Amino acid sequence: MISARGLTKLYGGIRAVDDLTFDVVPGTVTGFLGPNGAGKSTTMRMMVGLDRPTSGTATIGGRAYADLASPLHEVGALLDAGAMHPGRTGRAHLAVAARTHAIPLARVDEVLEQVGLASAARRRIKGYSLGMRQRLGIAGALLGDPGVLLFDEPVNGLDLDGVRWIRALLRGFADEGRTVLVSSHLMSEVQLVADRVVVIGGGRLVADTETSALLRSAGGPRVRVRTPSTEELVRHLPAHAVVERTGDDELEVSGVDAPDLGDLAHHVGVRVHHLAEVEQSLEHAYLSLTGTTPDPQADPQPASRPDSRPEGALR
């Protein structure tokens, strides 16, 4: 289990992470969500000891990452797919990590096969695409067969097949009883796989709940309606309805369900060309909770962090 308690990180006068407290439990995929700059990456770096908290704690299985005797066997992390020596081959990159933890080289070949890089294992990393580097980073996270996995924006650079592969991979890990934390600013993507969500904005906790509960919290129904008489329809909507124009002849109406909106349009003589309820989304739920988009400067990435260890400490 991953536990954050009062986790706070300041960079000068900027509060990148602000008193975060939450748990990530085994057997589930937990989505760590928020826009770019919300504080997700900084939080995950503190979890694996790459940034030192200003206050609070982050523990894995009840211990700080620095206290783990054999980190790769307990925690696998993909935080930066670019943190690899470009002159090494993919296999050599993993072999170096394997030797630090007495992991057999046969395991290197296993994970390369698992992530679909067996045929590219002896190519230099500088010739890898971003998607291939993401796969290699995931292979490194899996090397020690850990029970806890942390992935920061793992779908970056992946094509459609790669995104589908990531979904299945994450789901499979959770079904095996592992603890899986995956961050993304793409809320719609995580919605497809996450059992639970931890949502932050401006470094602060916005929600920590089951995905289904957060979707229910987004409020009443939303209906997309397409009509050549949008202004006429809006004039007859009830006062509690909230309207968003999504096209020249299209509206999204909140607070009125589809049957009632259809009956209303028929009653006032407005032609309707399309009428459908819109599935609630995590993005809509987030906006409903916060009413704003967090400041993108809230999660700064300074050029030099004196309290950080090199990314290679994870390898």
For residues 218 and 280, is the Cβ–Cβ distance under 8 A? yes
Kindly compute the dihedral angle of the four CA atoms of residues 98, 44, 40, 90, in this order, to the nearest 10 degrees: -10
CATH class of the 222-279 domain in this structure = alpha beta
pLDDT in tens, 29-50: 999 988 888 899 999 999 999 9
Average pLDDT, the chain: 87
Question: Using 50, 70 and 90 to split pLDDT, how confident is the model at 155?
Answer: confident
| 2-216+291-314: CATH topology | Rossmann fold (3.40.50)
E-strand stretches of the chain: 2-11, 14-24, 28-33, 55-60, 75-78, 148-152, 179-184, 196-201, 204-210, 222-226, 242-247, 250-254, 274-277
Q: What is the CA radius of gyration of the chain?
A: 23
Q: Is the pTM of this model over 0.75?
A: yes
Domain range annotation of the chain? 2-216+291-314, 222-279
Helix (H, G, I), strand (E, B) or coil at 158: coil
> Residue 260's closest CA among 247, 284, 217, 268?
268
Q: What pLDDT is stored for residue 304 in this prediction? A: 36
Residues whose CB is less than 8 angstroms from the CB of residue 113 and which lie 6 or more positions away in sequence, other chains included: none
Range with the lowest mean pLDDT among 110-124, 240-254, 294-308?
A: 294-308
Mean pLDDT of 155-175: 89
pLDDT in tens, 174-217: 999 999 999 987 788 888 899 999 989 889 999 999 988 888 77
